[in-house]
Structures are given as structure tokens and as C-alpha cells.
């Protein structure tokens, strides 16, 4: 009976240990132009801010694809589904003549491993509101 109790207790600990979500903050994101698309009629530049180095190219390409499908609007928060992580952030679209600039500001990165990273500006101690929708 004692061995059965210990076995069940150990099994419960293993099951619940894998369901934990780990939250962390970062303030060292990468900023820059990640993706440029030039056609005969226009040029589109995708820039990311507070980006994670490993996924910034993939996320920038997916942002452009959403823009090309007319699924992006300026000043809205979007979640971009990536292979390694899902990224939530604010998108700002600026147009001038034939030039379009898409600026995407990372707020939250949900890694497939279970780690969730929230961007925290080192000059502003307030954590983004992106944490409110993390179940």
C-alpha cells in the first residue's frame, strides 16, 4: 500500500511538472529592418523592434505575408504563429507614395518549450499588457 501511494505521488508530480508555464522578462531585443520586398509599383519594408534573434527573420516574413493578404491594420495587436514561437506585438503601418513601412514591436514571445518571455523596456518598469491574455 505504501509503495502504491509513493508511486501515485511520483506520477502526479511528473504530470503536473510538465504543465507549468514559465514567465521571464527581457530587455535586450534586436531592432532593425528584417525584410524588404520591391515590386514595380511599390516597396515594402518590414522592421521589427525588441525582436528575439533566433526568430526575427521568420516572423518578419510572416508579417509581410499577412500584409500581402490585406490582413494587417495599423495600431493593432497581432499574434504571429511561428515554427519555434508565437509572437504577440503591436503593428504600425506607414505609407508614403510607393513606400510602405511595417513596424512590428514584440511584446510577448511564447516559445514552444513552454517559456513565455515578456519585453520590458529598461527605461520603463511597467510590464506590457500582453501578459493579461496569457492563459
The pLDDT value recorded for residue 19 is 55
22-31, 106-115, 121-130 — most confident range: 106-115
Per the confidence metrics, is the pTM higher than 0.85?
no
Q: In degrees rounded to 5, what are phi and psi of residue 103?
A: -110, 125
Q: Residue range 93-119: average pLDDT?
A: 95
In tens, the pLDDT along 41-100 reads 999 999 999 999 999 999 999 999 999 999 999 999 999 999 999 999 999 999 999 999
CA–CA separation, 120 and 108 (whole Å)? 10
The rounded percent of the chain whose pLDDT value lies above 90 is 64
Q: Which of 53, 41, 78, 51 is nearest to 63 (CA)?
A: 78
Please give the mean pLDDT across all residues of the chain. Answer: 85
- Rg, C-alpha atoms of the chain: 20
The pLDDT value recorded for residue 122 is 77
Give the start-to-end residue ranges of the domains of the chain: 21-133
CA–CA separation, 92 and 103 (whole Å)? 5
Cβ atoms of residues 102 and 89 within 8 Å: no
The pLDDT value recorded for residue 22 is 85
Q: Residue range 20-37: average pLDDT?
A: 87
Cβ atoms of residues 49 and 29 within 8 Å: yes
Amino acid at each position: 500500500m505504501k509503495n502504491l501511494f509513493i508511486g501515485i505521488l511520483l506520477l502526479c508530480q511528473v504530470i503536473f511538472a510538465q504543465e507549468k508555464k514559465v514567465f521571464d522578462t527581457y530587455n535586450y531585443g534586436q531592432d532593425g529592418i528584417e525584410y524588404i520586398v520591391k515590386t514595380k509599383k511599390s516597396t515594402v519594408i518590414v522592421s521589427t523592434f525588441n525582436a528575439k534573434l533566433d526568430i526575427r527573420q521568420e516572423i518578419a516574413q510572416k508579417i509581410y505575408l499577412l500584409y500581402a493578404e490585406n490582413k494587417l491594420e495599423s495600431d493593432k495587436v497581432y499574434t504571429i504563429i511561428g515554427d519555434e514561437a508565437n509572437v504577440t506585438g503591436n503593428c504600425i503601418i506607414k505609407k508614403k507614395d510607393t513606400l510602405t513601412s511595417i513596424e512590428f514591436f514584440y511584446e510577448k514571445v511564447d516559445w514552444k518549450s513552454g517559456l513565455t518571455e515578456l519585453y520590458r523596456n529598461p527605461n520603463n518598469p511597467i510590464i506590457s499588457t500582453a501578459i493579461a491574455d496569457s492563459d
